[in-house]
Amino acid sequence: MPAALPSAKSVRTFFAKNGYYHARGVFSPAEMKVLHRDFDRIVGQLDRDGDKHKGHWTGERQAKVGGLNATFTHTHNVQCFSGAWLDAMKAKRFLDLTSAILGPDIILHHSKLFQKPAENGMPFSMHQDWSYFPTVKDSMIAAVIHVSETTDKMGCFRLYPGTHKLGRIPHSGGQEPCAALDAYPLENSIPIEGQPGDVLFFHYFLIHGSKHNRSRRLRKSVLVQMYAGDDQVEAGNMHPDSRLVLRGWNQPMTRDLANNYAITKN
């Protein structure tokens, strides 16, 4: 059985103060067995399509954390591969936690699969996410579903609690120099280790990153990017915006937007 869920009030209060919430045991071992199977099946399908899914970050700040020669496996929108993963995003327990943060209306922006290879899995230098898909009301959050165990040696998520209160820091998403981020070095951030079935929610202003995967095991996770139903993505969005309603109602939706749900820019 999954772990008992915390109260909505406790989730909301902790998230508002810290900019993240680590929910343990959201998905049961039986559910994770299916999701893990489909995760591996997606990676296998990507492998058959060549090496376009092998990625790495470049730039000055990535070089500082030694990440220029490391790689990771990545694709957007796992729900386009697997019905089980769409079911996971629609699961009541998952959406109850999300609603505690976003409110009753929840819109899927996109999802991402990440697999860090063993021994030299790519690190991510400290950054904010907002510049990649800014929303009018800045309601955008992410939920990282742990598919494998994730330890600090495996390059787990690292963060600075409360930094979401800094708002939009210019040049904080890419790899260009950013003096504001220099005050938040990767090595001093807090590691958030997790187990399969855990979900880590965080605001897109939160300063976060991760170290190399130096273990002999693959680190596997799926990130689900969501925003509130009374919000919408600004022009300049750099990722697919599915506009899929996971719960409730999409208040700004129009006929034109509905007819162009897969576009990457408004």
**Both tokens of residue 252?**
């700004």
Look at residue 234 in the predicted model and tell me its pLDDT. 93
Q: Are 107 and 95 a contacting pair, CB within 8 Å? A: no
Q: Are 141 and 199 a contacting pair, CB within 8 Å? A: no
One-character DSSP codes across 167-229? ---TT-SSSS--GGGGGS-GGGSEEE-B-TT-EEEEETTS-EEE--B-SSS-EEEEEEEEEET
From CA 208, how far away is CA 225, in angstroms rounded? 15
Instruction: Tell the residue number behind the tokens 């058959």, with chain if given.
Output: 48
Look at residue 152 in the predicted model and tell me its pLDDT. 96
Q: Are 198 and 146 a contacting pair, CB within 8 Å? A: yes
pLDDT in tens, 164-212: 999 999 999 877 789 999 999 999 999 999 999 999 999 999 999 999 9
- Model pTM score: 0.93
Look at residue 173 in the predicted model and tell me its pLDDT. 86
**Strand 208-210 and strand 157-159: pairing?**
antiparallel
Look at residue 263 in the predicted model and tell me its pLDDT. 44
Tell me the domains of the chain and their CATH numbers: 8-259 (2.60.120.620)
Look at residue 261 in the predicted model and tell me its pLDDT. 53
pLDDT in tens, 246-259: 999 999 999 988 88
pLDDT in tens, 1-34: 666 889 999 999 999 999 999 999 999 999 999 9
Query: Residues 6 or more apart from 146 whose CB is under 8 A from it?
Result: 194, 195, 196, 197, 198, 199, 200, 220, 221
From CA 101, how far away is CA 203, in angstroms rounded? 10
Q: How far apart are the first and last CA of the chain?
A: 42
